[in-house]
Amino acid sequence: MAYDFDLYVIGAGSGGVRSARFAAGFGAKVAVAESRYLGGTCVNVGCVPKKLLVYGAHFAEDFEQSAGFGWTLGEADFDWATLIANKDREINRLNGTYRNLLVNSGVTLHEGHAKLIDPHQVEINGQRYTAKHILIATGGWPQIPDIPGREHAISSNEAFFLKELPKRILVAGGGYIAVEFAGIFHGLGADTKLLYRGELFLRGFDGAVRKHLQEELTKRGLDLQFNADIERIDKQADGSLKVTLKDGRELATDCVFYATGRRPMLDNLGLENTGVKLDKRGFIEVDEQYQSAEPSILAIGDVIGRVQLTPVALAEGMAVARRLFKPEQYRPVDYNMIPTAVFSLPNIGTVGLTEEQAREAGHKVQIFESRFRPMKLTLTECQERTLMKLVVDADTDKVLGCHMVGPDAGEIVQGLAIALKAGATKRDFDETIGVHPTAAEEFVTMRTPVAG
């Protein structure tokens, strides 16, 4: 049967666009449907604008610390509307870049909501198209728990477009988004509280990293409240919000921001017209080659809920394009040693196993740690400290994990990830000459284990 397209991609986010462009480059006839914004979550309401806001928040401490270097500044004043307008302009530019990338690679762009009609057919803007393969790359959407008053809360989708910086904000959650946005709002001058339901935020990260970040954020004056779970939100006559916790406490705020995970975006996708199955958590179930239970339909990225990170979606998108249209170049995605950063202030950078995971997996471990005051701060009043940690297999000498909390941790961990992927041992680290004077050189000068 002749199809209209070899590949029809639903969703022009990181994974979908990468897959479409590669497939078109391999000679396939490709279309992409997008109902919202080109570039998906990452470009529009995720990584990119978030990082711009983090830069914005960082200026607060730069101004403060500049005094130690002899600068005298006038009173600093921050204007949220300017930051948001400039951010919007940059995101518009990136939307245009994505459009050009698609069009120049020969991909047909359909703007509208695509719905599956059957395993080989989609409908969009009243038109039907057939395709040999359909790739679902519709991503995720913030999930706010079903509590009374949830309609008064915002998610990251709205946070990027607030008209004003709230005077008081309460961030609920203890994952990437909650920690990053609490740092943004606090840095920009809002009275910020972070509420997390458990004992300590950032579950799944190395214990020392979680504790260190808790201490650093507290030093900065961010109000961290753990074992704090919201029961209800009530709007008050003056427009403020009353937040009642499950333990009965009441908090007053102007904005409640939920960052409690993301669900797969499957709304009105027409999955019921196909044999696609969902896993227990509601994400699309795929095999190791991203094929769903319906052989002609594949899925990648946040909608499969494996690792919700842009670079992972990119790798998955490329793997799909290669497998379908350039099988001789196909390589499965390696999910080991995925480096990641939390753009809190200070940043977390991490790759490989945490100490807890290494011990649980049965490794005999040696732990190396370095804690120090970054050189830049020695001329300032700031008492912030950096943490670096190596988890080493005592039997094989292999470095199993690298963890850092401190300035530029995200930048530093990228290079370490290459070393760990290549199987570097602690001896390789020791024999590597440091770059002096940097913080990163501490990773090659840790000599004595702090724990075994």
Q: Which of 340, 380, 432, 445 is the binder for ligand NDP (CB under 6 A)?
A: 340
d(CA 65, CA 3): 62
Looking at 177-185, 220-228, 249-257, 414-422, which segment touches ligand NDP (CB under 6 A)? 177-185
Residue type, 81: A
Q: Which residue is nearest to ligand NDP (CB)?
A: 175
262 binds ligand NDP (CB under 6 A): yes
Q: Which of 138, 260, 354, 366 is the binder for ligand NDP (CB under 6 A)?
A: 260
d(CA 82, CA 78): 9
339 binds ligand NDP (CB under 6 A): no
From 110, 113, 363, 436, the catalytic residue: 436
148 binds ligand NDP (CB under 6 A): no
423 binds ligand NDP (CB under 6 A): no
* Backbone angle region of 158, left / alpha / beta, with phi > 0 → left and psi within -120 to 50 → alpha: alpha
Looking at 182-190, 323-331, 341-349, 390-398, which segment touches ligand NDP (CB under 6 A)? 341-349
Looking at 63-71, 172-180, 237-245, 425-433, which segment touches ligand NDP (CB under 6 A)? 172-180
List the alpha helices (DSSP H) in 189-305.
207-219
183 binds ligand NDP (CB under 6 A): no
d(CA 342, CA 168): 23
Asked whether the beta carbons of 313 and 321 are under 8 A apart, the reply is: no
354 binds ligand NDP (CB under 6 A): no
259 binds ligand NDP (CB under 6 A): yes
436 is catalytic: yes
- Is 155 or 274 the residue whose CB approaches ligand NDP more closely? 155
Q: Is the peptide bond before 346 cis (omega within 30 degrees of 0)?
A: yes
SS3 173: coil
* CA distances in angstroms from 68 to 85, 217, 310, 380, 381, listed in the order given: 32, 22, 38, 5, 8
Query: 407: closest CA among 49, 43, 62?
Result: 62
Q: Which of 135, 178, 297, 324 is the binder for ligand NDP (CB under 6 A)?
A: 178
- Is 333 or 365 the residue whose CB approaches ligand NDP more closely? 333
Minimum separation from the CB atom of position 40 to ligand NDP (A): 12
Angle at 119 between CA 114 and CA 125, to 5 degrees: 20
SS3 374: coil
The phi, psi pair for 154, rounded to 5°, reads: -110, 170
Residues 126-145 that bind ligand NDP (CB under 6 A): 145
Given the rule CB under 6 A, which residues bind ligand NDP?
Answer: 145, 172-178, 180, 196-198, 203, 229, 259-262, 308-309, 340-343
